[in-house]
A and B are shown apart, each in its own frame.
Chain A
Amino acid sequence: MNAQKLAVVLALIAVVAGCGRPFDVKTAPGFVPLENQTTYDYRATTPEGVVVAVRVVDDEKRGDLAFWTQAITLQLRDVAGYALLDSVDVRSRDGTQGKLLKFGHDEGDKPFAYWLSIYPAQGRLFLVEAGGAKDTFERARPSVEWMLASVRVRCDTIVSPVLASRTCNRW
Chain B
Amino acid sequence: MRSGTTALAVPSRFLVLPLIVFLATLAGCGGASESKSYAVQSPGTGGGYPASPTSPRTESSGGHAAADVGAPQDAVRTVSANRRVALDGDDDEVAFQSADANRSAPEPAPPRPAPSQPQATQPGPATKAEKPEPAKEPAQTRDLVIYTARFTMAVYLVDQGLAAVEKIARDNGGFLGQKQDREITVRVPRGRFETTLAAIDKIGDVLHREIQAQDVTDEHVDLEIRIKNSRAMQKRLTELLAKASVKEALEIEKELHRVTQELELLEGRMKVLKDKIALSTITVVFTPRGAAIQTARVRLPFPWLAALNLPSLLSLSEDK
Binding site for B on A (CB under 8 A): 34, 36-39, 43, 45, 49, 51, 53, 55, 57, 71-72, 74-85, 103-107, 109, 111-112, 114, 116, 127, 129, 131-132
In Å, the complex CA distance between A75 and B157 comes to 20
Which residue among B153, B155, B156, B294 has the maximum number of chain A CB atoms within 10 Å of its CB?
Answer: B156
Closest 4 CB pairs of A and B: A81-B288, A83-B154, A83-B156, A83-B205
Check: B106 CB closer than 8 A to any chain A CB: no
CB within 8 A of A129: which of B305, B313, B320?
B313
CB-defined A-B contacts under 8 Å, sample of 6: A49-B314, A55-B304, A57-B304, A79-B288, A106-B158, A111-B156
DSSP class of B's interface residues: helix, strand, loop or mixed? loop
What distance in Å separates the Cβ of A78 from its nearest Cβ neighbour in chain B?
A: 5
In Å, the complex CA distance between A72 and B307 comes to 11
Interface residues of B in 263-320 (CB under 8 A from A): 286-290, 293-294, 297, 300, 302, 304-314, 316, 318-320
Residues of B within 8 A of A85 (CB): 156, 205
Check: B159 CB closer than 8 A to any chain A CB: yes
CB within 8 A of B306: which of A43, A51, A75, A112?
A75
What distance in Å separates the Cβ of B311 from its nearest Cβ neighbour in chain A?
A: 7
User: Which partner residue on chain B sits nearest A104 by CB separation?
Assistant: B156
CB within 8 A of A84: which of B205, B312, B313, B319?
B205
CB atoms of A72 and B155 under 8 A apart: no
In Å, the complex CA distance between A128 and B207 comes to 24
Q: Give 15 A-B pairs besides A71-B305, A81-B154, A132-B314 with Cβ atoms closer than 8 angstroms.
A: A36-B320, A37-B318, A49-B314, A51-B313, A51-B314, A53-B313, A78-B288, A78-B290, A79-B288, A79-B290, A81-B288, A104-B154, A105-B154, A114-B310, A131-B313
CB atoms of A107 and B310 under 8 A apart: yes
What distance in Å separates the Cβ of A67 from its nearest Cβ neighbour in chain B?
A: 10
Residues of B within 8 A of A127 (CB): 308
Residues of A within 8 A of B304 (CB): 55, 57
Which residue among A49, A57, A78, A103 has the maximum number of chain B CB atoms within 10 Å of its CB?
Answer: A78
CB atoms of A38 and B318 under 8 A apart: yes
In Å, the complex CA distance between A78 and B254 comes to 60
Interface residues of B in 163-183 (CB under 8 A from A): none
Check: B132 CB closer than 8 A to any chain A CB: no
What distance in Å separates the Cβ of B275 from its nearest Cβ neighbour in chain A?
A: 33
Residues of B within 8 A of A105 (CB): 154-156, 310
